[in-house]
């Protein structure tokens, strides 16, 4: 029997995502000036106020207030009427030194060889992390989440252009419901929800009618035009659109709802498909396996699906704090395996192909680079790998520009041939 599946996304102006972006901007600045920094930074945002708290071990000293304000202004909170403005909000820092009890399991003295370093660096915490991939989209992501992200990225582009829809404010959410067949193939889009913050520009009824018309007739055609023909075919005249269903949405952002780092972990990953170990990503340096191992398992899952091992793959890895070798590796192909071995045997083969010790993950995926603010909105997975540069402390005496930074390395399909060879594909 056909069934419905739903995923949601939130914009970069959503209060939780504002918090994530500030936390990851701090990570990037610490890593830019001291690549060995150990950081766990949480952010709270509310009406006119930012609170930073966390633990840091670093040789770098940062002007955290300036960094937070630059992020907020970059998102678009630049007007006093938003009741949250990068130039005028208060920024309180309660960041302190990392516990030596925690650090001793991560930073152990070692030799200079790769193996010595990999065996010396233990996991920053216990826990389990998941990676997932499916062949239902070109980027190996669940379709509902991919479309929900696309809607909000395009809404943000329209807001920044300021020509077609001029009343948009930074906060927004989207949701997409897709009907699947018995054999788990997308058949049609059943419902789309878009809630966008906006200026108070007319009487309520007229204003809401204008917003609905603009979302359906301006935003959605731009989103649909970006899709492959097979995805465009899923859009139809029967889609149920819920546009700002509660009514006007003038009060939003951190003034409308307090934001915290790490509260959008399903938006950050797979939209409810696969599984999630519960650990957030933003605000954590890559020694924290909550982040690095989640990226590593996504890398494994995506390369397995791209190699043709299975149509859908879930990878779980687990760790003990201070221990380098994983406690276990689990793989579920949901009955779609094409290589003639069970999932347990598949997991053993994957353990031979991929080194999941924390230092090896950091090294192989180049995670000690300042690449994290870019991950903090519109999902950490399913993004495009690229090489670019970043400048820190622009215009100041200690300005630094780093070139040839690799972003979203966990999305590279660089192990496909190795996997095909291992499974005779």
Annotated binding site for L-methionine: 55, 98, 257, 288
Residue 173, both tokens: 């959410």
Show binding-site residues for K(+): 42
* Residue set of the binding site: 14, 16, 42, 55, 98, 171-173, 248-249, 257, 263-264, 280, 284, 288
Report H helices in 249-288: 253-256, 265-268
* Paired tokens of 363: 């090294």
Q: Would you give the DSSP letter of residue 272? A: T
Specify the length of the chain in residues: 425
- Say how far apart CA 209 and CA 221 lie, in whole Å: 18
State the CB neighbour count (10 A cutoff) for residue 68.
26
Q: Where are the alpha helices (DSSP H) in 40-113?
A: 64-75, 100-106
What six digits make up the tokens of 5?
């599946």
174 phi and psi, to 5 degrees? -140, 165
Which residues fall in the annotated binding site for Mg(2+)? 16
Residue ranges at the known binding site for ATP: 14, 171-173, 248-249, 257, 263-264, 280, 284
Rounded to whole angstroms, the Cα distance separating 48 from 64 reads 16
Parallel/antiparallel/unpaired status of strands 38-46 and 259-260: antiparallel
């Amino acid at each position: 029997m056909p069934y419905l599946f739903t995923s949601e996304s939130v914009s970069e102006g959503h209060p939780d995502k504002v918090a994530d972006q500030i936390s990851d901007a701090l990570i990037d600045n610490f890593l830019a000036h001291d690549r060995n920094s150990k950081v766990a930074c949480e952010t709270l945002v509310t009406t006119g106020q930012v609170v930073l708290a966390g633990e840091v071990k670093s040789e770098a000293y940062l002007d955290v207030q300036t960094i937070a304000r630059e992020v907020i202004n970059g998102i678009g909170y630049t007007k006093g009427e938003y009741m949250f403005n990068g130039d005028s909000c208060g920024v309180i820092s309660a960041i302190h030194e990392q516990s030596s009890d925690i650090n001793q399991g991560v930073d152990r003295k070692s030799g200079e060889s790769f193996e010595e370093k990999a065996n010396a660096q233990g996991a920053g915490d216990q826990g389990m992390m998941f990676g997932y991939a499916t062949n239902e989209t070109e980027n190996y992501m669940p379709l509902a989440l991919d479309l929900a992200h696309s809607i909000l990225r395009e809404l943000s582009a329209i807001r920044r252009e300021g020509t077609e829809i001029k009343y948009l404010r930074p906060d927004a959410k989207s949701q997409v419901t897709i009907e699947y067949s018995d054999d788990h193939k997308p058949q049609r889009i059943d419902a789309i929800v878009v809630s966008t913050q906006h200026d108070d520009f007319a009487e309520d009824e007229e204003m809401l009618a204008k917003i609905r018309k603009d979302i359906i007739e301006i935003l959605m055609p731009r989103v649909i035009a970006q899709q492959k023909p097979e995805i465009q075919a899923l859009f139809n005249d029967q889609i149920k659109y819920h546009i700002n269903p509660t009514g006007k949405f003038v009060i939003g952002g951190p003034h409308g709802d307090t934001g915290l780092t790490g509260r959008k972990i399903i938006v950050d990953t797979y939209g409810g498909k696969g599984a999630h170990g519960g650990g957030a990503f933003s605000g954590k340096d890559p020694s924290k396996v909550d982040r690095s191992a989640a990226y590593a398992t996504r890398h494994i899952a995506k390369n397995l699906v791209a190699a043709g091992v299975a149509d859908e793959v879930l990878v779980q890895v687990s760790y003990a704090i201070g221990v380098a070798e994983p406690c276990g590796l689990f793989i579920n192909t949901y009955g779609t395996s094409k290589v003639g071995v069970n999932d347990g045997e598949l997991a053993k083969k994957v353990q031979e192909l991929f080194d999941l010790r924390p230092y090896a993950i950091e090294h192989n995926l180049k995670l000690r680079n300042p690449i994290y603010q870019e991950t903090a909105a519109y999902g950490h997975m399913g993004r495009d790998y690229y090489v670019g540069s970043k400048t820190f402390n622009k215009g100041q005496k200690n300005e630094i520009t780093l070139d040839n930074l690799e972003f979203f390395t966990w999305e590279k399909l660089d192990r496909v041939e190795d996997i095909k060879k291992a499974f005779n594909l």
